[in-house]
């Protein structure tokens, strides 16, 4: 498995892709007086997984992530000459030139030109892609301790959660920081209707009486690629019934199992919520099924859904 590294730090990659060109890491600069523009930036977190037996690196659900990126570009009224295909090819080039033979994060970001200001947030934007080694956490031995946050999730008519924008993550950061300072690992947010929404960086799945239940995409959640993957695994791989509906807070306390899912979270078991044990507090059998199925698909061990995996052309070792 790959090591965990920091997204930004001393152990950085050699190159980034910026506005159509691969450039050395230290040339990717913005003046400090223009730093505010990143509050309005949009991004995607994409994972690539190494299969040691096949000696292949697979980008998982690459197209779906880039499709969402370009939907965010539209909603943010950004204008860029760089196409989805440009970002696709630039990302694969970075993986190739770095010669990764481990799990990798691919991080495309789109930010407004500094001359775009608040009174008219529409216009030209820059695009960069950053990659770094980042290991999977699918083998964790315990579940996360969660709270239900007192902070309300942003609504579609305030800051649309379907846009993967850094500004939206301030809402997530307030809730998550509050939870960690109180000794929890994660927190679960409610929307302005008092219904279960999602965690700050992951969607929520509940298993009750053999049924997988999750809030609908209209519950002020990010329209998650991993969420879609998990629902497909439930229906087509495990054979578990799937229901998308609103969830009340107290349903969580008596659920058989709860887990979080996302590109970063992958499949994260939940051990307790507000100090109520979920099940017996251990990783449940259903959650374990989803973890194993997910791991098989992301690495090409399970060869079903080949359209979900993009093979990275690697340089000879």
Q: Give me the mean pLDDT over the 50-61 stretch.
A: 97
**Position 9 pLDDT exceeds 60:** no
CA 132 to chain centre: 15
**What percent of the chain stands above pLDDT 90?**
88
Burial of 293 (0-12, 13-18, 19+ CB in 10 A): buried
Task: For residues 41 and 23, give the distance between their C-alpha atoms in angstroms, rounded to a whole number.
Answer: 20
Q: Kindly indicate the confidence band of residue 7, based on its pLDDT and cuts at 50, 70 and 90.
A: low
pLDDT of residue 316: 63
pLDDT in tens, 68-104: 999 999 999 999 999 999 999 999 999 999 999 999 9
Domain spans of the chain, in order of start: 15-133, 144-298
In degrees, rounded to 5, the angle at the alpha carbon of residue 47 between the alpha carbons of residues 199 and 287 is 50
H or E stretch covering 269 = strand 266-273
Pick the CATH number of 15-133 from 3.10.20.30, 3.90.330.10, 3.30.470.10, 3.40.50.2300: 3.30.470.10
Structure tokens at 115: 């001359």
Task: For residues 251 and 254, give the distance between their C-alpha atoms in angstroms, rounded to a whole number.
Answer: 6
pLDDT in tens, 200-246: 999 999 999 999 999 999 999 999 999 999 999 999 999 999 999 99
Q: Kindly indicate the confidence band of residue 1, based on its pLDDT and cuts at 50, 70 and 90.
A: very low
CATH architecture of 144-298: Alpha-Beta Barrel (3.20)
Burial of 222 (0-12, 13-18, 19+ CB in 10 A): buried
Contact 146, 178 (CB under 8 A): no
H or E stretch covering 232 = helix 225-232
Contacts for 50 with CB less than 8 Å, ≥ 6 apart: 2, 56, 57, 100, 101, 102, 103, 104, 299
Task: For residues 233 and 225, give the distance between their C-alpha atoms in angstroms, rounded to a whole number.
Answer: 12
Q: Give me the mean pLDDT over the 273-277 stretch.
A: 98
Contacts for 303 with CB less than 8 Å, ≥ 6 apart: none
Q: Kindly indicate the confidence band of residue 36, based on its pLDDT and cuts at 50, 70 and 90.
A: confident
Task: For residues 7 and 193, give the distance between their C-alpha atoms in angstroms, rounded to a whole number.
Answer: 35
Q: Which of 301, 279, 281 is nearest to 291 (CA)?
A: 301
DSSP secondary structure, 15-65, as one string: EEEETTEEEEGGG----GGGGGGGGG-EE--EEEEEETTTTEEEEETHHHH
């Amino acid at each position: 498995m790959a090591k965990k590294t920091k997204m930004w730090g001393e152990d950085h990659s050699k190159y980034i892709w910026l506005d159509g060109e691969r450039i050395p890491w230290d040339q990717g600069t913005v003046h400090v007086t223009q730093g505010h523009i990143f509050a309005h930036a949009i991004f995607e977190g994409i994972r690539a997984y190494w299969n040691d037996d096949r000696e292949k690196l697979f980008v998982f659900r690459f197209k779906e992530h880039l499709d969402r990126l370009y939907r965010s570009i539209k909603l943010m009224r950004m204008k860029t000459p760089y196409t989805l295909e440009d970002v696709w090819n630039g990302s694969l080039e970075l993986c190739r030139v770095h010669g990764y033979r481990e799990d990798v994060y691919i991080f495309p970001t789109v930010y407004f030109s500094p001359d775009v200001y608040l009174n008219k947030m529409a216009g030209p934007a820059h695009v960069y892609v950053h990659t770094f080694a980042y290991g999977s956490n699918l083998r964790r031995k315990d579940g996360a301790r969660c709270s239900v946050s007192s902070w309300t999730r942003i609504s579609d008519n305030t800051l649309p959660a379907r846009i993967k924008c850094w500004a939206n993550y301030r809402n997530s950061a307030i809730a998550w920081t509050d939870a960690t300072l109180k000794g929890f690992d994660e927190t679960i947010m409610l929307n302005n209707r008092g219904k279960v929404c999602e965690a700050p960086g992951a969607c929520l799945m509940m298993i009750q009486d053999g049924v997988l239940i999750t809030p609908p995409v209209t519950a002020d959640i990010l329209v998650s690629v991993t969420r879609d993957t998990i629902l497909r695994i439930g229906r087509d791989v495990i054979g578990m019934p799937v229901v998308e509906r609103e969830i009340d807070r107290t349903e969580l306390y008596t659920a058989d199992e709860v887990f979080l899912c996302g590109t970063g979270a992958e499949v994260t078991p939940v051990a307790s919520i507000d100090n109520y044990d979920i099940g017996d507090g251990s990783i449940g059998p259903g959650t374990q099924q989803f973890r194993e199925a997910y791991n098989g698909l992301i690495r090409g061990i399970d060869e079903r859904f080949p359209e979900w995996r993009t093979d990275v052309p690697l340089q000879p070792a």
